[in-house]
Amino acid sequence: MKRSVTAYDDVAAAYGRALDPEGAGLVDPVLTELVGEVAGRHVLSLACGQGQDARLLALLGAAVTGIDVSEEMLRRAREHEKADPRGIAYVHDDAQALAQLGSASFDGVVCHMALMDIPDLAQAIGAVARVLRDEGWFVFSIVHPCYHPHVEIAEDYLVDHRYLKLRPPDWLPPHAYHRPLAAYVNELASTGLRLERVVEQHTPGRPDDVGGVPGLLYARAVKRSD
C-alpha cells in the first residue's frame, strides 16, 4: 500500500498512551459476549489501531489478523506483539477495500469503535462481506448514531455528514462521520449480512451520557449462505 499520512498517524502516540498503554488488550464485556466462542477461528480485527481488540481476540483463542490504514498505529501494534507474542499478523490495508485479503478467508470480523471514522461505509461493509465465509459474523461498535451531541454544529440526523467533535481528547482525530441508523442496517442487508443482535450501552465512565441516552451501539450480523 502506498505510504500516506492518516488522521490516526497524527494522534498515534497519544492514543497509545491513553488506551491500553501496556498492551494487555481490550476489556469490553459487551463486545466479548457478541463475539462469542472464537477459539481456533480465523478472525479479522478491522481498523485495529494499536491492536487492543486484536489482542483481546487472540487471548480468546482466535487466529487473528489486524489491519489498519495507519502505519504509526501498526508500528505500535507490532511492538506490543513483539513484547508479548499472541500470534497476531498485522497488515497495512484500507478497511474500505481490504485489497490484501482474500475472499471468504475469515470466520469473523470485529470493528471496535472505528466504522464512524471510515469515510465510505458502503465500501467498508462490502469489503467485510467479501472476506467473510458463509455464516461468518461481523461484530462492530460505534458511537450511537441517534445520540451524538458532542458536535460543534447540529446537522440533519437523516443526512450523512462529516462532523467536528466537540472538545475531543488529544488522542482522537477531531472529525468523524455521521450516518443515520438506517444506513448501517441497509448496508448490512444489501451485502447479505443478517442483523442478529443490537446492544445499546452507556459510554464507560459516563453512566448518564447526555440526557440519560446511550452513547454506544453494538451489533452482530451474520453472512447468509443462501
pTM recorded for the entire structure: 0.89
Please spell the DSSP secondary structure of 63-77, one letter per residue.
EEEEEES-HHHHHHH
pLDDT at 220: 98
**What's the pLDDT band for 5 if we cut at 50, 70, 90?**
very low
Q: What is the mean pLDDT of the chain?
A: 87
pLDDT of residue 198 exceeding 80, the answer is yes
Whether 64 shows a pLDDT value over 90: the answer reads yes
Share of the chain above pLDDT 70, in %: 81
* Pair 155, 178: CB distance under 8 Å: yes
Distance of alpha carbon 15 from alpha carbon 49, whole angstroms: 9
pLDDT in tens, 123-153: 999 999 999 999 999 999 998 988 765 555 5
Based on C-alpha coordinates, what's the Rg of the chain? 17
For residue 175, what pLDDT band results from cuts at 50, 70 and 90?
confident
pLDDT score of 192? 96
Whole-angstrom distance, CA of residue 25 vs CA of residue 32: 12
Structural domains in the chain, CATH included, are 7-144+181-223 (3.40.50.150)
